Amino acid sequence: MTTTAPAPAVRKPVEPGAEPPPPERSSVSRWIPAAVVIGVWIVAYLLLEGTDTLALPGVARTDLHDRLTEFNNDLLASRDTNPVMQFTNSISDLLRSLFEWVQRMIVVPNPPRPVPEIGWLGVVAIATYIGLAIANWRIAVLVCLSFLSFGVLGYWQDSLDLLIVTGISVAIVIVLGMPLAVLVGTSTRANRAITVVLDLMQTMPTFVYLLPVVLFFGIGVSAAVVSTMIYALPPLVRIAGFGIREVPTATIEATDSAGQTYWQRLFKVQLPMARKTIIVGLNQTTLAALSMATLAAFVNGPGLGKPVLAGLRINDVGAAFVPGVLIVVMAVMLDRTTTAASERSEKVARGGGGNVRQRRVLLAVGGVGTLVAVYLSRTYIGLAEFPVYTIGDRIATWVNDVMDWVTSTFGGITGAFKDLVTTWLLNPMQSLIADSPWYVSFVAIAALAFVFGGARALVSSLVCLTGIWFFDLWHDAMITLTMTLVATVLVMVLALVFGVWMARDRKVDLGIRPLLDAGQTIPPFVYLIPVLALFGPSRFTAIVAGVVYAAPAAIKLVADGVKGVSPTTIEAGRSTGQTTWQEITKVQLPMAKGSLVLATNQGLLYVLSMTVIGGLVGAGALGYDVVYGFSRSEAWGKGLAAGITIVLLGVMLDRITRAAADVRRDDGPGPRRAFHTRLPIGFPGDRKVVET
């Protein structure tokens, strides 16, 4: 079932059966047994509908869940005796006091002062100055306006809190990640070992490590920082490691032959030559950190995620809108600043970067101005506490009005679309998958895994299905699976349409790609706001949010894959007088099959990772179980079980699609594109960093 999405594309061209190579033919034959399995499944469903579905009412728990909760309670009780807990608690305290110290410096009163050490004017000035110093005046203006918008829209403290959490996490990630990146870049064995761990970390949906993190670090700042670190570490290690590994052997050899030491090689050759890629890694890590720090609102982390979450919980789109916009502003600011800083450092390294004297004067003047601003902000209370504006509230009200108008005007259209998908795709599939007896679905899914992925996929799916069954959330898991599949189908439809269009028309590509890049920069939380506004809380809303989140990556993969088809082959095809449609379906898509399957794989995992967020907006099922587990201490065990079940679903879908693509495990970085790591934004096209 998992490959439903790309399948039509793969199958169509093969039917006429003239030229395609053998592997193609084997995939056509897969569809016959698949249809048989589904047929039998439907018959069994019709006969046994509603029996043994293992459905568990929304708030009900099983013994297993309670045992997990107890385990949690025991661990918490042993806080003072268990050495592991003592260790994590002291880290937790350390992180909290670090956070609070920075907070007292720039946002909250630092007793005995009634205001922070540096008031808002000083903070804005310092941030602007940093923008000027590491990039250019345009970035300085961008940073200044962004910071002002934080305050003017009424979220000064939440914005700075989010920045502090992001900043602390990124700093720790750099300290931990760079040595790892060096290992990855210089030792084949370390590379292999670390890559396995990173792969595992990145196939896990974001939320899953929140629960154990909370267990060991408590809720609040420290959980936010730790989970952000875990989430933001892989991109840096991977990308920077890749950059170091890609330093040409010729250069290493040539400089080795001059008699350099290990450290000289590292600091004079490898790191400088990989600098550009390392900075791309930093950029990716920063954006990943921001998006995770936002989500950490779930574990009571400070920052802009909190008001968004609060708004979403009570379905108040207007209230979520303003902080949501500020998150986007912050993402754009961080992205542009790191990118511009890397461009500038490149130029400076090449002896460029404009008139040095002039720049020094500018920086000196700016520095003096900043110091004056800091001084003023320490002297006048009005420059220390951000003045209160009502504009944010007015925008919220206005947004709610607009949304009311939109829903009343277009409600018919969006509602019809929602009903269409729900009635014709979602409900039938959900009935089949979730309302069949559990053993029927179990066998059917395993059989389909075998049909598409062979013995390897069969084994993985048996293990995962057994695990899902064990954790007592079978029915919810099947509903989540259904939603994931439906969303992935929609993602692949979008990916095929836009991907092929982009691949065939350069102008379209140039127009759409920046939008996709921007879409990937925005923390996923933010997508929910407009989607919720349009469709109200429902399963369909969660599906749309997943689609919006997953589509950019899938579209890009398809576009790049189709574009990668050799022009000679296309020319040869054209010389036979084929139509455009024939060219797409018989040449381009079959030849881009690898990318299509990869796009499906990524689509599935991206969609699945939105499950928990979807749980906030009426998705129910596993997402809701996790959210519920966070909010009620007695439901913690159920939340954990739901989290583990999501991971098992993810691993299963991942294994099946990989096996279906016949991607061997050991084939290196190529198709193993990291889950969650967005492709570099505005990455210079001269070098292919595929392996992010």
Q: Which residues here bind other proteins, judged by CB under 8 A?
A: 248, 250-261, 264, 268-269, 272-273, 275, 349-351
460-486: b or e for each residue (b if 16 or more CB lie within 10 Å)? bbbebbebbbebbbbbbbbbbbbbbbb
Q: Is 621 exposed, middle or buried (0-12, 13-18, 19+ CB in 10 A)?
A: buried
By beta-carbon proximity to other proteins, the closer residue of 80 and 253 is 253
CB nearer to other proteins: pick between 200 and 254: 254
Take residue 321 and report the two structure tokens written for it: 């809108």
| Count of beta carbons in the 10 Å neighbourhood of residue 379 | 10
What 3 state SS string does 375-395 have?
A: HHHHHCHHHCCCCCCCHHHHH
Least gap, CB of 349 to other proteins (angstroms): 6
Q: What's the closest the beta carbon of residue 260 comes to other proteins, in angstroms? A: 4
Q: Name the token pair of 615.
A: 């749980």
Instruction: State in angstroms the smallest separation of the CB of 237 from other proteins.
Output: 23
CB of residue 259 to other proteins, shortest distance in Å: 3
CA distance 465 to 210: 23
Which residues lie below 8 Å from residue 579, measured CB to CB, with a gap of 6+? none
In angstroms, give the least distance from the CB of 263 to other proteins: 10
Q: Which amino acid is located at 133 in the chain?
A: A
Cβ neighbours for 443, distance < 8 A, ≥ 6 positions apart: none
Q: Choose between 30 and 276: whose C-beta lies nearer to other proteins.
A: 276
Quickly count: other Cβ atoms within 10 Å of residue 262's Cβ: 9
20 sits in the region (left: phi over 0; alpha: psi -120 to 50; else beta) called: beta
The structure tokens listed for 656 are 């099946």
Q: How far is the CB of 272 from other proteins (least distance, A)?
A: 5
Q: Which is nearer to other proteins, 244 or 479 (CB)?
A: 244
State how far the Cα of 228 lies from the Cα of 29, in Å rounded to an integer: 45
Residue in the block written with tokens 């930093």: 282
Q: Is 356 or 420 the residue whose CB approaches other proteins more closely?
A: 356
- Work out how close the CB of 248 gets to other proteins at its nearest, in angstroms, rounded to a whole number: 7
Q: How far is CA 511 from CA 516, 553, 562, in A?
A: 10, 16, 17
Nearest to 185 by CA among 263, 251, 242: 242
Question: Whose Cβ is closer to other proteins: residue 275's or residue 456's?
Answer: 275
Residue with tokens 């061997």: 664
Question: Between residues 82 and 255, which has the closer beta carbon with respect to other proteins?
Answer: 255
Q: Minimum CB separation from other proteins for residue 174, in Å?
A: 21
CB of 411 to other proteins, least distance (A): 59
Provide the minimum distance between the beta carbon of 684 and other proteins in the complex, in angstroms, as a whole number: 14
What is the C-alpha separation between 466 and 448, in angstroms, rounded? 16
Name the DSSP class of 107: T
Q: CA-to-CA distance for 111 and 97, rounded, in angstroms?
A: 15
Here the tokens at position 81 are 């005796």
The H helix count followed by the E strand count for the chain is 31, 0
Minimum Å gap between C-beta 341 and other proteins is: 17
What is the b/e burial string over 200-235, where b = at least 16 CB atoms within 10 angstroms of the residue's CB? ebbbbbbbbbbbebbbbbbbbbbbbbbbbbbbbbbb
Closest CB to other proteins among residues 356, 572: 356
The smaller minimum CB distance to other proteins, of residues 261 and 423, is found at 261
Taking the C-alpha atoms of residue 676 and residue 665, their distance in angstroms, rounded to an integer, is: 19
Phi/psi at 648 (5° precision): -60, -45
Residue 271 Cβ, how far from other proteins at the closest point, in Å?
10
> For residues 255 and 422, which CB has a smaller minimum distance to other proteins in the complex?
255
Paired tokens of 496: 């095929």
The two tokens of residue 444 are 């059917």
Nearer to other proteins, 268 or 506 (CB): 268
CB-CB contact of 679 with 287 (8 Å): no
Instruction: Name which of 79 and 268 has its Cβ closer to other proteins.
Output: 268
Closest CA to 644 of 76, 211, 55: 211
As a whole number of angstroms, the distance between CA 617 and CA 538 comes to 6
Is the CB of 245 or the CB of 378 nearer to other proteins? 245
Q: How far is CA 196 from the centre of its chain?
A: 19
Nearer to other proteins, 351 or 567 (CB): 351
Helix axes 305-313, 275-295, angle to 10 degrees: 40
| Shortest separation between residue 336's beta carbon and other proteins, angstroms | 24
User: Do residues 554 and 592 lie in contact, with contact meaning Cβ atoms separated by under 8 Å?
Assistant: no
In the bound state with other proteins, the residue whose beta carbon lies nearer, of 274 and 591, is 274
Phi, psi of 596, deg, nearest 5:
-65, -45
